[in-house]
């Protein structure tokens, strides 16, 4: 597993961070919007966003006095590649079994 995938999975063990990613699934949101969609305070959401940024899972852009957050697809790519490797192994085993059954 790559360092990026390990870092991403490590930070995603937290349910609030997973909730933040779910909220960002449909596009950019401000900290206020993310706070409204969780059960934690604004400072807590900001701290979770910092951790998600450091893991490469979200990016922020300034928008006046606030920051807008969105999912970074590059950060999720390593996680997806790791998960996909399980499917690759399963499909390879299936093909080997199917070809052996003939």
Average pLDDT, the chain: 91
* Domain regions of the chain by residue span: 3-101
pLDDT digits over 57-99, tens only?
A: 999 999 999 999 999 998 888 888 888 887 877 778 888 878 8
Under the banding of pLDDT at 50, 70 and 90, the label for residue 1 is confident
DSSP string computed for 56-94 = TSEEEEEETTEEEEEE-HHHHHHHHHHHHHHHHHHHHHH
Output the pTM of the full model: 0.80
What is the residue whose two structure tokens read 């900290």? 31
CB 30 within 8 A of CB 65: no
Question: Shortest CA distance to 55 belongs to which of 5, 2, 1?
Answer: 5
The arrangement of secondary structure in 3-101, i.e. its CATH architecture, is Orthogonal Bundle (1.10)
In this model, does residue 7 exceed pLDDT 70?
A: yes
User: CA 33, 35, 36, 41: dihedral to nearest 10 degrees?
Assistant: -150
Rounded to a whole number, what is the largest CA-CA distance in the chain?
Answer: 66
The sign of the torsion formed by the CA atoms of 71, 77, 78, 82 equals: positive
């Amino acid at each position: 597993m790559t360092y990026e995938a390990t870092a991403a999975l490590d930070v995603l063990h937290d349910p609030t961070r997973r909730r933040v990613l779910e909220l960002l699934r449909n596009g950019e949101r401000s900290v206020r919007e993310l706070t409204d969609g969780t059960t934690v305070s604004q400072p807590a959401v900001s701290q979770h966003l910092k951790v998600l940024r450091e893991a490469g899972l979200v990016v922020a852009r300034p928008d006046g006095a606030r920051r807008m957050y969105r999912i970074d697809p590059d950060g999720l790519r390593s996680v997806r590649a790791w998960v996909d490797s399980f499917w690759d192994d399963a499909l390879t085993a299936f093909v080997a079994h199917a070809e052996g059954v003939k």
